[in-house]
Chain A
Amino acid sequence: MTDHTTTEVTEESEEELAVEAALESRHGHPSDMTYVGIAFGLAVLTAIEVGLYYLKASTETALTLLVLMAIKFSIVVGFFMHLRFDSPVLRRLFVLGIVLAVTIYVIILLMFGILHF
């Protein structure tokens, strides 16, 4: 009987802790309206990208498109995926993966003569 009561109390306190953890994880995260603002910004950036596509194709246009792509990528990863607010361990893990992937594939494309410096 005592064991049963102790288990129930432990489960309840764990539940409370988990709810606190869920609320705590909201701490510092953007509000709903901020998310809407971020999505609006992403939509505007996409519209600019499409507008640039219809301009004369040039190296400058391609570079601008790549910069806009990187900005959109960073916004989604930083705000929607909460990497800006989460543990630095996750940030390091993801950035390391991205840098490694980009480096490897740029080297391969250089080897095949697709990219030139």
Chain B
Amino acid sequence: MAEIAAHPPAHHADTHHQTSTGISNEKLAMWAFLGSECMLFGALISTYILYRHKAVSGPTPHSLYDIPFTSVSSFVLLMSSLSMALAVAAIQRGDQRRLRVWLSTTALLGSIFIGGQIYEFTSFIRRGMTIKTNVTSGAFFVLTGFHGVHVTLGIIMLLSLVSLSIRGKIPQSKAEIIEIAGLYWHFVDIVWIIIFTVVYLIP
């Protein structure tokens, strides 16, 4: 009994342990979180669909979209999913150098996407469409803004992982940390896949 008290199973948590589902609690928690995020973005996308033709004054997002520019942004975000998948594969093989290269590439591509979104927002505001112009613009800015905040948080998370990896705190045995971060990043990508089609491409 004294031995158990002296050696609590604290280090079990950072390696792997048996659960009744056979899936680690951290991974299951991330999937449950992503399920709740589906509801959040579902509400924001529905609100945009609801208000897309309700503007009574001022320019609407559809009259200002720059589709070639947004297409390039979408391509950049899609490619960031590829680099994230390659980062997960690298740590599972124990390749720390490639892990850092792919995580940094993913963060860079995410930053390019965010830069594009800031440029787009600035351009819309200069042409007279702000969040307060009409209900359509309000729904548009809230939806795409929320997505942008998610991407930004993802970039901070990726850079933190690069820093941890440099300090040798992500060994191969903790590959699941990168896999879980990857789940979040890919989710942000699939939300954009929906936004790009429903908000930008379908008139």
Q: Which residues in A have their C-beta under 8 angstroms from that of B78?
A: 39, 42-43, 46
Complex: chain A residue closest to B6, CB-CB: A3
Tell me the bound Cα distance from A3 to B85 in angstroms: 41
Instruction: Check if B108 is an interface residue, CB within 8 A of chain A.
Output: no
Contact B172 A101 (CB under 8 A): no
Assembly CA distance A77 to B190 (angstroms):
8
- Kindly list chain A residues whose C-beta atoms are within 8 Å of the C-beta of B89: 26, 29, 31-32, 35
Residue-wise interface mask of B (6-32) relative to A, using a CB-CB cutoff of 8 A (1 in contact, 0 not): 110001100110000111000110011
B45 near A105 with CB under 8 A, answer yes
Question: B residues within 8 A CB of A68?
Answer: 197
Whether A76 and B189, one on each chain, are in contact in the complex, defined by CB atoms closer than 8 angstroms, is yes
B42 near A: Cβ within 8 Å?
yes
- Tell me the interface secondary structure of chain B in the complex: helix
Residues of chain A contacted by B6 (CB below 8 angstroms): 3
- Check A94 against B201 for contact (C-beta < 8 Å): no
Task: Count A-side interface residues using an 8 Å CB cutoff.
Answer: 59
CA–CA, A90 and B30, complex, Å: 10
Query: In the complex where A18-B15, A35-B82, A39-B79 touch, is A97 in contact with B201 (Cβ < 8 A)?
Result: no
Contact A97 B38 (CB under 8 A): yes
Q: Which B residues have a C-beta under 8 Å from some C-beta of A?
A: 3, 6-7, 11-12, 15-16, 21-23, 27-28, 31-32, 34-36, 38-39, 42-43, 45-46, 49-50, 67-68, 71, 74-75, 78-79, 81-82, 84-86, 89, 91-94, 171-176, 179, 182-183, 186-187, 189-190, 193-194, 196-198, 200-203
Some 26 contacts from A to B, beta carbons below 8 A apart, are: A3-B3, A18-B16, A18-B172, A19-B94, A25-B92, A26-B89, A26-B92, A35-B86, A36-B82, A39-B78, A50-B68, A50-B201, A69-B196, A73-B190, A76-B81, A76-B189, A76-B190, A76-B193, A80-B182, A80-B186, A89-B22, A93-B31, A93-B35, A94-B31, A97-B35, A97-B36
